[in-house]
């Protein structure tokens, strides 16, 4: 009987040992995949130990030497042993050749394709999955673009960058010119056609000064705003579409306004935002909010009476404005402090960090959060009395599909703008010629690969 009892006790003990072992294993697997919002479960001390994160900046308008401390204040306040070094006067190609890649490359979504192609933007998905990173917090237009970037490289589940700030299209206008011509100011939600009709009313000579109603900008920028890719899914150049025609029609209509192109033919590329500020002859100009915000002090000092409204939309997509454009952190697979760099990126999209960036650093939040978005530039009062919130009343349009030919074809479109303005050719002719030139360029590039 005692022998039987001992065997029973032994069996129970063995069962308990097995159960504890299984629980420990399950607990380990659970810990690896359920960190929630706690940033340190993957490595408790990843940012609590001294570390210097090196940064190479390619994102115009995101960060510069004067902004490093200000930009990363949410991280350094929480983790005082973390520091940041902006690599000034560095050449990325030389760094790669020497095997010394930066920890973070700041770029924008149009530049992400090249970083992925050169293996300088590593996949963050495994790290983010371990943290249960909530993509539902991020602006859906950004999430969709990140997916598109990954799909181009046949890695649909990859995440090649962490979005940090969202640029946003707007249209700025000179109230003095509208008052001079006795014309109502632009309203939110206007289409390109409506803007052009308004431009006709504020183009002309007053007291010996030629006023220009509107500068439509660059053709390739308008194509991106209409989500148009030069190359279709079959790898063929396809510009003979209704979408391309709609964009080219905008420029043809604009250049047909009497007086828009001056006697010296200078106004088809009027000069953009700097001319808007310096000469004060341009009534309306479509632009980006972040670089525009940086110019407000100069405009205030000059006494320019200005305001902003929505970026013009196309008639076929009336609820969409300028294309999705955002700044992001890419982290190379071979970065010395890769896990710390990714954790920094995660920290920068917390609600606290995004609120700080919005209010104090004038960066539009990437979060789908109206309260944070409405706090943009609140700390500086640069938009006090202006219609800033109107620009957010329409959503960004999807950006075009990334492709290796986009930059070269964008350059080609600069010549197309000149043809539309000065050579008196109809849209169909210009489109056909652009298609032929684009085909040749793509074929030449493919042959040299």
Quote the CA–CA distance of 356 and 363 in Å, as a whole number.
9
Q: What is the mean pLDDT of residues 30-59?
A: 65
Q: Three-class SS of residue 431? A: helix
Mean of pLDDT over the chain: 87
Q: What is the mean pLDDT of residues 319-331?
A: 96
pLDDT at 76: 96
pLDDT at 263: 66
Query: Where does the pLDDT of residue 264 fall: very low under 50, low under 70, confident under 90, or very high at 90 and above?
Result: low
Query: Where does the pLDDT of residue 290 fall: very low under 50, low under 70, confident under 90, or very high at 90 and above?
Result: very high
pLDDT at 271: 64
Quote the CA–CA distance of 95 and 82 in Å, as a whole number.
23
SS3 track for 34-77 = CCCCCCCCCCCCCCCCCEEEEEEECCCCCCCHHHHHHHCHHHHH
Q: In this structure, what are the phi and psi dihedrals at residue 141, rounded to the nearest 5 degrees? A: -65, -35
Q: Tell me which of 67 and 216 has the higher pLDDT.
A: 216
pLDDT tens digits, one per residue of 136-178: 999 999 999 999 999 999 999 999 999 999 999 999 999 999 9
Q: Confirm whether 219 is domain-assigned.
A: yes
When mean pLDDT is compared across 47-56, 265-274, 304-313, the lowest value belongs to: 265-274
Domain that holds residue 314: 169-323+399-448
Fill in the DSSP letter of residue 370: H
Quote the CA–CA distance of 314 and 226 in Å, as a whole number.
7
Q: Are residues 428 and 358 both part of a single domain?
A: no
pLDDT more than 90, % of the chain: 69
Rg of the chain over Cα atoms, rounded to whole angstroms, equals 27
Q: Tell me which of 369 and 278 has the higher pLDDT.
A: 369
Q: What is the mean pLDDT of residues 217-244?
A: 91
Quote the CA–CA distance of 313 and 194 in Å, as a whole number.
10
Quote the CA–CA distance of 350 and 231 in Å, as a whole number.
37
Query: Where does the pLDDT of residue 244 fall: very low under 50, low under 70, confident under 90, or very high at 90 and above?
Result: very high
Q: Which residues, in sequence order, are CB contacts of 324 under 8 Å at separation 6+?
A: 109, 141, 142, 144, 145, 166, 396, 397, 398, 399
Whole-prediction pTM:
0.85
Cβ atoms of residues 106 and 63 within 8 Å:
yes
Q: Confirm whether 358 is domain-assigned.
A: yes
Residue 321 has pLDDT above 50, yes or no: yes
Q: Are residues 95 and 226 both part of a single domain?
A: no
When mean pLDDT is compared across 35-39, 134-138, 408-412, the lowest value belongs to: 35-39
Quote the CA–CA distance of 375 and 363 in Å, as a whole number.
10
From the list 46, 51, 86, the residue with the least C-alpha distance to 346 is 46
Task: Return the sign of the alpha-carbon dihedral for residues 63, 55, 401, 436.
Answer: positive
pLDDT tens digits, one per residue of 349-397: 999 999 999 999 999 999 999 999 999 999 999 999 999 999 999 999 9
Quote the CA–CA distance of 435 and 193 in Å, as a whole number.
25
Q: Are residues 157 and 175 both part of a single domain?
A: no
pLDDT at 260: 86
pLDDT at 178: 98
Residue with tokens 């924008």: 108
Quote the CA–CA distance of 168 and 180 in Å, as a whole number.
29
Q: What is the mean pLDDT of residues 36-46?
A: 48
Q: Three-class SS of residue 240? A: coil
Q: Confirm whether 3 is domain-assigned.
A: no
How many domains, in total, are found in the chain?
A: 2
> Which run of H or of E encompasses 84?
strand 82-86
Q: What is the DSSP string of 173-204?
A: EEHHHHHHHT-PPP-TT-BHHHHHHHHHHT-E
Residue 310's CATH number = 3.40.190.10
Q: Confirm whether 87 is domain-assigned.
A: yes
Most confident range (mean pLDDT) of 127-136, 173-182, 396-405 is: 173-182
Fill in the DSSP letter of residue 162: E
Q: Confirm whether 43 is domain-assigned.
A: no
Residue 43 has pLDDT above 70, yes or no: no
Residue with tokens 């929505």: 310
- Give Cα 5 distance to the centre of its chain: 72
Q: Are residues 136 and 182 both part of a single domain?
A: no
Cβ atoms of residues 129 and 36 within 8 Å:
no
Q: Are residues 210 and 310 both part of a single domain?
A: yes
Residue 23 has pLDDT above 60, yes or no: no
Q: What is the mean pLDDT of residues 46-54?
A: 93
Q: Are residues 422 and 436 both part of a single domain?
A: yes
């Amino acid at each position: 009987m005692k022998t039987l009892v001992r065997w029973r006790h032994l069996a129970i003990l063995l069962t308990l040992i097995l159960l504890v072992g299984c629980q420990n294993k399950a607990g380990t697997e659970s810990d690896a995949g359920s960190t929630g919002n706690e940033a340190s479960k993957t490595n408790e001390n990843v940012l609590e130990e001294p570390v210097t994160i090196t940064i190479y900046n390619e994102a115009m308008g995101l960060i510069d030497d004067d902004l490093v401390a200000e930009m990363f204040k949410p991280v350094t306040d929480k983790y005082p042993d973390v520091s940041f070094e902006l690599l000034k006067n560095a050449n990325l190609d030389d760094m790669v050749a020497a095997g010394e890649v930066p920890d973070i490359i700041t770029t924008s979504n149009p530049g992400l394709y090249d970083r992925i192609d050169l293996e300088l933007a590593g996949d963050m998905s495994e790290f983010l999955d371990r943290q249960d990173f909530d993509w539902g917090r991020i602006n859906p237009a950004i999430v969709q673009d990140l997916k598109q970037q990954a799909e181009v490289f046949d890695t649909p589940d990859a995440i090649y960058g962490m979005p940090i700030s969202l640029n946003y299209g707007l249209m700025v206008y000179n109230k003095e010119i509208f008052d001079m011509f006795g014309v109502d100011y632009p309203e939110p939600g206007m289409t390109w056609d409506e803007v052009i009709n308004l431009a006709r009313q504020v183009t002309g000579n007053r007291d010996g000064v030629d006023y220009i109603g509107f500068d439509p900008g660059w053709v390739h920028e308008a194509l991106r705003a209409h989500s148009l890719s030069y190359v279709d899914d079959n790898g063929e150049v396809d510009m003979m579409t209704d979408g391309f025609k709609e964009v080219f029609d905008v420029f043809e209509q604009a250049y047909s306004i009497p007086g828009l192109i001056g006697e010296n033919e200078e106004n088809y590329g009027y000069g953009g935002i700097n001319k808007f500020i310096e000469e004060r002859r341009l009534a309306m100009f479509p632009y980006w909010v972040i670089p525009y915000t940086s110019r407000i002090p100069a405009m205030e000092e000059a006494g320019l009476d200005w305001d902003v409204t929505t970026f013009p939309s196309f008639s076929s997509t009336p609820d969409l404005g300028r294309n999705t454009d955002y700044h992001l952190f890419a982290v190379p697979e071979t970065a010395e402090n890769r896990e710390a760099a990714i954790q920094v990126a995660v920290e920068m999209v917390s609600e606290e960090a995004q609120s700080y960036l919005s209010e104090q650093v004038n960066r539009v939040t990437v979060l789908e959060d109206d309260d944070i978005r409405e706090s943009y530039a609140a700390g500086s009062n640069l938009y006090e009395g202006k219609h800033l919130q109107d620009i957010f009343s329409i959503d960004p349009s999807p950006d075009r599909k990334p492709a290796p030919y986009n930059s070269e074809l964008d350059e080609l479109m600069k010549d197309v703008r000149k043809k539309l303005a000065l050579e008196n050719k109809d849209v169909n002719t210009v489109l056909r010629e652009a298609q032929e030139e684009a085909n040749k360029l793509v074929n030449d590039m493919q042959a040299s690969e």
